[in-house]
Amino acid sequence: LSKDNITSSNLYLAPQYHYPKSGKAELVGYRASRSINVTVTDLADLNQYLDMALKAGINQVDNIQLKVSNQAEYQQKARMAAIKDAREKAASLASGFDKKLGGIWQINYNQMHVQPVLMRSMAMDSKQGSNSYQDSTLVIRDQVDVVYKLK
């Protein structure tokens, strides 16, 4: 893992107080948190990096986002598959009514977001030898709605 793949920002310090039943709040310390972004180029290494972070004292991991580096390419493939699927289904439906597809009357395009398959399974449980992150596949979907004229 290269240092270029790790960035940190947003150091946040918050006072922590003890509130006794009687009397005023007592300052007992401060809680520090920082946002760290790590770019992992091989998803198979993710568990190893999470284990290293936990051993280094990080006790909370939030907001793991999985992305593909060449998303535009895959999004284009998904879009073309959605267009082909819309055309094939429309032709099948038209055929069922003894009609043929004419020109396109209307197109609605709704870009879908990348969705990881399988959700995060991380338990900070000392009984487990290591924590695991089970995402292994990203699904890129696209949707196109087409209204055809019939002949």
Q: What percent of the chain has pLDDT over 90?
A: 38
Domain that holds residue 131: 68-150
Query: Bridge partners of 16?
Result: 29
- Is 113 within a domain? yes
Q: pLDDT-derived band of residue 10, with 50, 70 and 90 as boundaries?
A: confident
105 domain residue, yes or no: yes
Domains in the chain, number: 1
Residue 24 in any domain: the answer is no
Please indicate whether residue 141 or residue 108 has the higher confidence score (pLDDT): 108
Q: Is residue 54 part of a domain?
A: no
Query: Rounded to two decimals, what is the model's pTM?
Result: 0.58
Q: Answer whether 70's CB lies under 8 Å from 77's CB.
A: no
Q: Which of 31, 26, 38, 40 is nearest to 12 (CA)?
A: 31
Q: Read off the pLDDT of residues 65-75 as tens digits, 9 standing for 90 and up.
A: 778 888 889 99
